[in-house]
A and B are shown apart, each in its own frame.
Chain A
Amino acid sequence: MKNVTITINGAEQQAQVEPRLLLVHYLREVAGLTGTHIGCETSLCGACTVLMDGRAVKSCTVLAVQADGHKIGTVEGLANGGQLHAIQEGFWEEHGLQCGFCTPGMLMCSHDLLAQHPSPTDSEIREAINGNLCRCTGYEHIVNAVKSAARKMTKRVSARAA
Chain B
Amino acid sequence: MIPVNFDYESPSTLAEALKLLASREDAKVLAGGHSLLPAMKLRLAQPALLVDIGRIAGLSYIRESNDQILVGAMTTHADIASSKLLQRSSPLLSQAATQIGDTQVRNRGTIGGSLAQAHPGADYPAAVLALDAQIIAAGPSGERVIAATAFFVGMFTTALRPDEIITEVRVPKTENESVVYKKHHHPASGYAVVGVAVRLKVSGGKIESAALGLSGVSQNAYRATAVEKALRGKPVAAIREAAAHAAENIEALGDYYASAEYRKHLATVMTRRALEQAASGAAK
Contacts and interface: CB of A to CB of B under 8 A. Distances in A.
Interface range on chain B (Cβ under 8 Å from partner) = 20 to 34
B50 A61 contact: no
B249 interface: no
A49 B33 contact: no
B8 A46 contact: no
Contact of B108 (A19, A57, A132): A57
A58 B52 CA distance: 18
B84 to A, nearest CB: 14
Nearest to A108: B104
Interface string A56-74: 1110111101101000000
Contact of A19 (B1, B50, B104): B50
B102 A42 contact: no
Interface residues of A, number: 32
B8 A42 contact: no
B103 A42 contact: no
Interface stretch (B34-42, B87-95, B221-229, B256-264): B34-42
A57 B28 CA distance: 22
B126 to A, nearest CB: 21
Interface of A is mostly: mixed
B54 interface: yes
Contact of B33 (A63, A129, A131): A63
B102 A46 contact: yes
B6 A62 contact: no
B2 A20 contact: yes
24 contacts: A2-B8, A20-B2, A22-B2, A41-B1, A42-B38, A43-B104, A46-B104, A52-B107, A56-B107, A57-B107, A61-B33, A61-B37, A61-B104, A62-B33, A62-B108, A63-B8, A63-B33, A63-B37, A65-B10, A113-B103, A128-B103, A130-B103, A131-B103, A132-B102
Given A22-B2, A55-B78, A68-B10, 10 more contacts: A19-B50, A20-B3, A42-B42, A46-B104, A56-B107, A58-B105, A61-B33, A63-B8, A109-B104, A131-B104
Interface of B: 1-8, 10, 30, 33-34, 37-38, 41-42, 50, 52, 54, 78, 101-105, 107-108
Interface of A: 2, 18-20, 22, 25, 41-43, 46, 49, 52, 55-58, 60-63, 65-66, 68, 109, 112-113, 127-132
